[in-house]
């Protein structure tokens, strides 16, 4: 219950949904622009959401199985190290203390030789603590999973399959991300359509490659955490919020419903109306406000690998230096600031056009077409 009250958990959950469904990235909009005008978009949206949810549930089975396996292995290793230390200290026969009778031996030795046991500085082996040490992101993929796979029977085969899966997953994700950049550049006529698409795709991939070189440095894991926390979560939340507001209250939900009815041939039910108008924007706003409040109360921090830390190999929690905080703010604000800037640009453009005597509003053409 305490975990569910943490806004960071809900932001991470929203980020996961945004990544898995490619929401607010522009990839879905780019792909949908290639559909025929009367495509059944409602059926496609429901199908994609169901398939994504089922895939996530299916993926959770091996993920939590591996995490449980890794925690159990770490717990037994902790016990084995304590057992070896006790046997060497008290010169006991080998296998006199085993995992099954470890607790009984500890109770006996603590009551009989408390000073010797205290001098050994035995580790506290708690399975729940090992389970709570589960990480996410790159730590899960490249540290926890790899450590667990090494201990599995036939580890070489599992390792090959695992990294082929990661490569395929990253490659398929890049298709949508590149398309989300590629299609607007052409359709907004920012770049001439005479440029070969293969060349443009290569240039975009090269720029992404050069930016991603910072992740290969010695501090690469910290940069990944920064980009994941501030460039890949909060901006997506803000962009998705403005997308919903733009469709439901600027473009108007009635006009959008008529468009969907024209495409699908069916009138949208009350569920979609309530979700688009109230539930979705309200949930996005609540998560956003809760996250900002949490960030204000506690300065942003990161988990650092420090061999001199008392609890090493546990990570030490450190506060970001000021220059890194500036980068975090920039990564969070820069993608979001284009929303009001573009809106202001179109507002000024429309005001200038309205002052032009030769300007005829689009509504006039639509009325003339209806009367004819």
Q: Taking Cα atoms as reference points, which of 210, 213, 223 lies closest to residue 138?
A: 223
Residues 6+ apart with CB under 8 A from 130: 70, 71, 72, 74, 75, 78
Tokens 């600027």 correspond to what residue? 250
The token duo for 235 is: 């901006």
Cα–Cα dist 184/205, whole Å: 16
177 is in an annotated binding site: no
What would the pLDDT profile of 80-131 be if each residue is shown by its tens digit? 988 998 888 888 888 888 888 888 888 888 888 888 888 888 888 888 777 7
Q: How many CA atoms lie within 13 A of 248 on its CB side?
A: 17
Tokens 């949930």 correspond to what residue? 283
What is the predicted pLDDT for the residue at 220? 85
Is 159 within 8 Å of 146 (Cβ atoms)? Answer: yes
Verify cis geometry, omega within 30 degrees of 0, for the bond prior to 310: no
Per-residue pLDDT of the chain (372 residues; tens, 9 = 90+): 677 777 777 777 777 788 788 788 888 888 888 889 888 888 998 998 899 889 888 888 888 888 888 888 888 988 898 899 888 888 888 888 888 888 888 888 888 888 888 888 888 888 877 777 656 666 677 777 777 788 788 888 988 988 898 888 888 888 888 888 888 888 878 888 788 888 988 998 899 899 889 988 888 888 888 888 888 778 888 889 999 999 999 899 999 999 999 999 888 888 998 999 999 999 888 888 887 887 788 888 887 877 777 766 667 788 888 999 899 889 889 988 988 898 898 889 888 887 766 655 555 444 444 444
Residues 6+ apart with CB under 8 A from 166: 141
The token duo for 101 is: 């009778």
Cα–Cα dist 111/98, whole Å: 19
The token duo for 9 is: 């958990």
Residues 6+ apart with CB under 8 A from 136: 12
What is the predicted pLDDT for the residue at 274? 92
Q: Which residues pair with 303 in a beta bridge?
A: 317
22 is in an annotated binding site: no
Q: Which residues pair with 317 in a beta bridge?
A: 303
Angle of helix 41-90 versus helix 102-112 axis, rounded to 10: 40
344 is in an annotated binding site: no
Gap between the terminal Cα atoms of the chain: 63
Cα–Cα dist 96/93, whole Å: 6
Note the residue count of the chain.
372
What is the predicted pLDDT for the residue at 362? 53
Phi and psi torsions of 243, nearest 5°: -65, -45
53 is in an annotated binding site: no
Q: Taking Cα atoms as reference points, which of 276, 225, 221 lies closest to residue 249?
A: 276
What is the predicted pLDDT for the residue at 278? 93
Is 233 within 8 Å of 15 (Cβ atoms)? Answer: yes
Cα–Cα dist 147/347, whole Å: 55
Query: What does the H/E/C string look like for 283-306?
Result: HHHHHHHHHHHHHHHCCCEEEECC
DSSP string, 339-357: HHHHHHHHHHHHHHHHHST
What is the predicted pLDDT for the residue at 172? 82
Q: Taking Cα atoms as reference points, which of 69, 67, 68, 61 lies closest to residue 153?
A: 69
Where do the domains of the chain lie? 1-34+220-354, 56-148
């Amino acid at each position: 219950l305490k975990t569910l009250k943490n806004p960071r958990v809900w932001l991470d959950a929203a980020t996961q949904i945004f990544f898995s469904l490619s929401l607010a990235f522009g990839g879905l909009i780019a792909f949908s622009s290639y559909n025929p005008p009367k495509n059944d978009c409602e059926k496609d949206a429901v199908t994609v959401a169901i398939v994504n949810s089922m895939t996530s549930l299916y993926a959770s089975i091996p993920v939590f199985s591996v995490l449980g396996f890794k925690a159990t292995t770490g717990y037994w290793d902790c016990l084995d190290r304590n057992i070896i230390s006790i046997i060497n200290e008290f010169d006991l026969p080998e296998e006199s203390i085993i995992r099954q009778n470890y607790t009984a031996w500890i109770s006996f030795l603590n009551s009989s030789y408390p000073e010797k046991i205290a001098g050994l500085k035995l580790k506290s082996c708690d399975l729940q603590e090992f389970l709570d040490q589960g990480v996410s992101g790159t730590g899960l993929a490249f540290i926890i999973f790899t450590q667990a796979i090494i201990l599995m029977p036939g580890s070489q085969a599992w390792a090959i399959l695992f990294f082929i899966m990661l490569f395929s997953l990253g490659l398929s994700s890049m298709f949508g991300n590149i398309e989300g950049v590629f299609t607007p550049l052409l359709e907004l006529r920012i770049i001439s359509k005479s440029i070969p698409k293969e060349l443009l795709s290569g240039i975009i991939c090269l720029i992404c490659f050069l930016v991603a070189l910072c992740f290969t440095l010695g501090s690469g894991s910290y940069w990944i955490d920064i980009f994941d926390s501030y460039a890949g979560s909060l901006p997506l939340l803000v962009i998705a919020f403005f997308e919903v507001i733009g469709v439901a209250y600027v473009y108007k939900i009635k006009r959008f419903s008529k468009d969907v009815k024209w495409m699908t041939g069916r009138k949208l039910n009350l569920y979609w109306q309530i979700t688009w108008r109230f539930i979705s924007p309200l949930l996005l706003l609540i998560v956003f406000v809760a996250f900002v409040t949490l960030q204000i109360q506690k300065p942003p921090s990161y988990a650092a690998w420090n061999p001199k830390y008392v609890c090493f190999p546990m990570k030490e929690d450190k506060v970001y230096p000021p220059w890194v905080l500036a980068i975090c703010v920039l990564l969070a604000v820069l993608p979001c600031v284009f929303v009001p800037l573009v809106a202001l640009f179109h507002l000024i453009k429309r005001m200038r056009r309205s002052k032009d005597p030769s300007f005829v509003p689009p509504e006039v053409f639509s009325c003339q077409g209806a009367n004819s």
